[in-house]
Amino acid sequence: MRKMFLPLVVLACACSDAGGGRTVASLKLASCAVVGDAVAFDASGSTSPGGHIVRYVFTIGHGSAPLVSKEPKLEYVFRKPAFLNGKIAQYQVLVTVYDEHGGQAYAADNIFVVYNEGQCPEPIPEPDIVLDDVVEEPFEIEEWASDVPEEIPEPACPIDLARDYQMVVFCQGSISGSFDISLDSADCLFWDADPTGLLTVELDDDGFATLKSPYKEMYIEQCTGQIEDPADFTLDCNSGCTAVFTGM
């Protein structure tokens, strides 16, 4: 039986009173995500009575670069699970919204990230609530929001690999495969132009690359290495082979 993971909604408010109301941020996301599968973060429920929301800033996990968007919905793919002391843990997802008058608000929630769906914890049933007894009290964080800069720069990739390459795979001293490939890029995740997804290359802030391919027969299922020259670099593969990229 396939498990269903219901979206969670968290609201938080902190903003100017331009136009007679406060800006309120809203965030919806699933309770659990699987590595490699796209998961949606939805802030479309955010409101600004005095204007329009003009910018959404999503921050996924502690210490990660913010993702700035004019759209309220973001699709994101986690590349590694969240574990703490050998147990399944959660990533924090934070969205900060800005309106045209400088009003700001944020909403945050947590999401489990696992290797396969069977590792997702069972959803906890929500208790019965008598709606007549619910009193809505917005949580104000004006002091925190005042420290948010007016402009948040787009995260920059340390190395641009977007170009055409000749890729040669060496195994035990001999060539096991050679072909031309074109890499496209976005947010430090590079993939081949072929829609079948021949390979992906992910970069961290130090230029350390991790290459992944679904084709084990190519002997490059996973390769890693430090990239200093984007036009000519070598990655060592877990199969014992070596993948050499030469710009064309």
User: Any idea what DSSP says for residue 153?
Assistant: P
Phi/psi of residue 145, each to 5°? Answer: -65, -30
Tell me, yes or no, whether 240 and 168 share the same domain. Answer: yes
Phi/psi of residue 182, each to 5°? Answer: -120, 125
Residue 183 has pLDDT above 70, yes or no: yes
Residue 22 has pLDDT above 70, yes or no: yes
pLDDT tier at 145 (50, 70, 90 boundaries)? very low
Q: Are 57 and 66 in contact (CB under 8 A)?
A: yes
Q: Give pTM, 2 decimals.
A: 0.46
Domain count for the chain: 2
CA distances 166 to 114, 193, 223, 232, 245, Å, are: 35, 14, 16, 10, 6
Q: Which domain holds residue 179?
A: 164-247
**Residue 134 sits in a domain of what CATH number?**
2.60.40.10
More confident residue, 91 or 6: 91
What are 31's two structure tokens? 């309770």
Q: What percent of the chain has pLDDT over 70?
A: 71
SS3 content of the chain, % helix, strand, coil (to 5): 5, 45, 50
In a domain, 3, yes or no: no
In a domain, 1, yes or no: no
Q: What is the pLDDT of residues 109-141, one digit of tens each?
A: 999 888 888 888 877 665 655 555 555 555 454
